Chain A
Amino acid sequence: MAYLVLDQLTKRFGNWTAVDNVSLTVEKGELISLLGPSGCGKTTTLQMIAGFLDADGGRVMLDGQDLLAKKPNERGLGIVFQSYALFPHMTAAENVAFGLEMRKINRADRDRMVADALKLVGLEQYGDRHPRRMSGGQQQRVALARALVIKPSLLLLDEPLSNLDAKMREEMQIELRRIQRTVGTTMILVTHDQSEAMALSDRVVVMNKGRIQQVATPQDAYDHPANAFVANFLGRTNLLPGMVGGGSAGTVITVADSVWPVAQPMAAGPGALAVRPEKIGFVDAGGLSGTVLARVFQGTQWLFEIETAAGRLMVIRQHDGSPLPAERERVMVGWRADDMAVMPAGPDTVFNAQEAA
Chain B
Amino acid sequence: MSMAASTESQVQATAANPSTHAPPPRRPRRWPWTPYLLSAPGLALFAVLLLVPLAMTFLLSLNSFSFYGGIENVWQIGNYADIIADSYFHEVFLRTFRIAAVVTLLCALFGAPEAYILRRMKSPWRGLCLLIVLGPLLISVVSRTLGWALLFGSTGLVNQGLMGLGLIATPIEFMYTETGVIIALTHVLVPFMVLSVWASLQRLDPQVENAALSLGAGPLTVMRRVVLPQIVPGILSGSIIVFALAASAFATPAIIGGRRLKVAATLAYDEFLNTLNWPLGATVAVLLLIANVVIIVGCNRLVERRYKQVFE
B219 (CB) vs chain A CBs: closest residue: A73
Residues of A within 8 Å of B163, CB to CB, are none
Given A130-B309, A130-B310, A81-B210 contact (CB < 8 Å) = yes
Interchain CB contact (< 8 A) of B214 among A73, A103, A132: A73
The answer on a CB contact under 8 Å between B226 and A87 is yes
Q: How far is the CA of A82 from the CA of B206 in the complex (A)?
A: 12
Residues of A within 8 Å of B310, CB to CB, are 88-89, 130, 132
The answer on a CB contact under 8 Å between B214 and A75 is yes
A146 within 8 A of B: yes
B86 within 8 A of A: no
The answer on a CB contact under 8 Å between A99 and B230 is no
B309 (CB) vs chain A CBs: closest residue: A130
How many B residues are at the interface, by size bracket?
A: 20 to 34
Given A83-B207, A88-B310, A130-B309, A98-B214 contact (CB < 8 Å) = no
Q: How far is the CA of A87 from the CA of B213 in the complex (A)?
A: 12
Residues of B within 8 Å of A99, CB to CB, are 215-216
Q: B207, B219, B230: which has the most chain A beta carbons within 10 Å?
A: B207
Interchain CB contact (< 8 A) of B221 among A52, A88, A102, A146: A102
A293 within 8 A of B: no
The answer on a CB contact under 8 Å between A81 and B309 is no
Q: How far is the CA of A86 from the CA of B225 in the complex (A)?
A: 13
Q: How far is the CA of A150 from the CA of B215 in the complex (A)?
A: 8
B53 within 8 A of A: no
Q: Is the interface of B mostly helix, strand, loop or mixed?
A: helix
Interchain CB contact (< 8 A) of B215 among A52, A89, A98, A132: A98
The answer on a CB contact under 8 Å between B207 and A102 is no
Q: How far is the CA of A55 from the CA of B176 in the complex (A)?
A: 57
Q: A79, A103, A147, A150: which has the most chain B beta carbons within 10 Å?
A: A79
B124 → A minimal CB distance (Å): 15
Interchain CB contact (< 8 A) of B217 among A77, A83, A102: A102
How many A residues are at the interface, by size bracket?
A: 20 to 34
A72 within 8 A of B: yes
Q: Is the interface of A mostly helix, strand, loop or mixed?
A: loop
B220 → A minimal CB distance (Å): 11
Q: How far is the CA of A99 from the CA of B221 in the complex (A)?
A: 12
- Scan A41-69; emit 1 where CB is below 8 A from any B CB, else 0: 00000000011100000000000000000
The answer on a CB contact under 8 Å between B207 and A73 is no
Q: How far is the CA of A132 from the CA of B208 in the complex (A)?
A: 14
The answer on a CB contact under 8 Å between A76 and B216 is yes
B67 → A minimal CB distance (Å): 60
Residues of B within 8 Å of A85, CB to CB, are 205, 207-208, 210-211
Residues of A within 8 Å of B213, CB to CB, are 51-52, 72-73
Residues of B within 8 Å of A271, CB to CB, are none
Q: How far is the CA of A78 from the CA of B212 in the complex (A)?
A: 10
A102 → B minimal CB distance (Å): 4
Q: How far is the CA of A98 from the CA of B210 in the complex (A)?
A: 13
The answer on a CB contact under 8 Å between A89 and B229 is yes
B235 → A minimal CB distance (Å): 14
Interchain CB contact (< 8 A) of A52 among B210, B219, B225, B229: B210
Q: How far is the CA of A82 from the CA of B211 in the complex (A)?
A: 11
Given A81-B211, A85-B207, A103-B216 contact (CB < 8 Å) = yes
B145 → A minimal CB distance (Å): 39
Interchain CB contact (< 8 A) of B212 among A75, A83, A98: A98
B230 → A minimal CB distance (Å): 6
Residues of B within 8 Å of A52, CB to CB, are 210, 213
Please report which residues of chain A, range 85-113, place their CB below 8 angstroms from some CB of chain B when the two chains form the complex. 85-89, 98-99, 102-103
Q: Can you report 19 A-B residue pairs in the complex whose CB atoms are below 8 A from each other?
A: A50-B210, A72-B210, A72-B214, A73-B217, A74-B216, A76-B216, A78-B214, A82-B207, A83-B205, A86-B208, A86-B211, A88-B310, A98-B215, A102-B215, A102-B217, A130-B310, A146-B215, A147-B214, A150-B216
Query: Which B residues fall within an 8 A CB radius of A?
Result: 205, 207-208, 210-219, 221, 225-226, 229-230, 309-312
A-B pairs with the 10 shortest C-beta distances?
A99-B215, A102-B216, A85-B207, A85-B211, A79-B214, A89-B229, A81-B207, A72-B213, A73-B213, A85-B208
Instruction: Given A74-B216, A82-B207, A132-B310, output 10 extra A-B contacts at Cβ < 8 Å.
Output: A52-B213, A73-B217, A77-B214, A79-B211, A81-B210, A81-B211, A85-B211, A86-B211, A98-B212, A146-B215
